Amino acid sequence: MPKPDSLQGSLDLLVLKILSRRPRLHGYAIMAAIGEMSEEVLKVEEGSLYPALHRMEEAGWIRAKWITKENGRRARIYEVTAAGTKQLEAEESRWQAVTGAVNRVLKMA
């Protein structure tokens, strides 16, 4: 099982992708979604998710707002901005290029 820090560099990509599919998620839900979709292979180190979210928010890729959930508790939910969508496309194609290249190397070796 990959160690959490192998997510380094791909965390932005995952968060953007998930938010673009399912907007208006809060931090815990994003983390849960990553775990769920990767069938618990990828695990986000819980605390470090938030600095990453805040960094992306400052970069203008996602925006956040506070809502009140049905259970009465407040949650800070995130959605992708237009700049975030562009960023997602760029990151995605970069990821495809890198993984494709890695795969080609693995096949040839």
Partner 1 sequence: MSLLSRLANALRPSRLNRDIDEELEAHIQDAIEAGRDPEEARRAFGSVLRHRESSRDLRLATWLEALLADLTFGWRQLNKHRAASLAAVLSLGLAIGACLAAFRLIDALLLRPLPVTNPQSLVYLTYPYIDNLATVQYDGEIFDYPQFRILKTAAQPYAELLAITGTSLNALSFGGEEDRERIHRQMLSGTTLGSFGIQPALGRLLTAADDQPNASPVAILSYEYWTRRFQRDPSILGRKFRYGTTLVEIVGVTQPGFTGTEPGAMTDIFAPTASNAKALDNPHWGWFRVWARLRDGVTPEQLRDALQPAFRANREQRIKNNPNDDAHRREQYLNAKLAVHTAASGVSDMQREYRIAMLVVGAVAALVLLIACANAASLMTARSVARAREMALRVSIGAGRARLVQLVLCEAFLVAVAASLVGALVAWQAAPMVVARLQPSGAPARFLLPLDARVAIFALALLVLVVLLFGCIPAVRASRTAPAAALRTGAQPARLGVLHALVAFQVALCFVIHLTTGLFTTTAQRLTTQPLGFQPQQVLAVEAVSRLGNKDRGWQPVIRQLAQLPGVESVGLSGWPLMSNNAWTSPVWVNGNALGSEECYVLFASPGFFETMRIALLQGRDFRISDDKASVIVNQAFARRYFDGANPVGQFVELPGDGKRERMAVTGLVADARYTGLREPIRPTVYLPIDSEGAGLDWGTYNIRTTAPDPMAVSSAVRNEIRRANPKLRAANVHRQTELVEQHSVRERLLALLSVFFAATALLMAALGLFGVLTYAVTQRRKEIGIRLALGSTAFAITRSVTASTGRMLLLGAIAGLGAGLLAQRYLESLLFETAATDPAVLAMPLLALLSGTLLACLPPVVRALRIDPATTLREE
Q: Alpha-carbon distance 96 to 7, whole Å?
A: 15
Residues 76-105 interacting with partner 1 (rule: CB under 8 A): 76
Number of residues that bind partner 1 (CB under 8 A): 22
**Which residues face 9 on adjacent strands?**
none
Within 8 A by CB and 6+ apart from 71, the residues are: none
HSE (CB half, 13 Å, CA atoms) of 108?
A: 6
Task: Fill in the per-residue mask, 1 to 40: x = in contact with partner 1 (CB under 8 A), - = not in contact.
Answer: -------------------------xxxx-xx--------
In this complex, which beta carbon is closest to partner 1, that of residue 58 or of residue 107? 58
* Chain centroid, CA 42 distance in Å: 11
Give bridge partners of residue 76 from the DSSP assignment: 66
Least separation, in Å, of the C-beta of 15 and partner 1? 14
| Dist CA 9 CA 60 (whole Å) | 18
Q: Toward partner 1, which CB reaches closer, 16 or 62?
A: 62
Q: State the binding string over 50-79 for partner 1 (x if CB under 8 A, else -).
A: xx--xx-xxxx------------xxxx---
Residues forming the site for partner 1 (CB under 8 A): 26-29, 31-32, 45-48, 50-51, 54-55, 57-60, 73-76
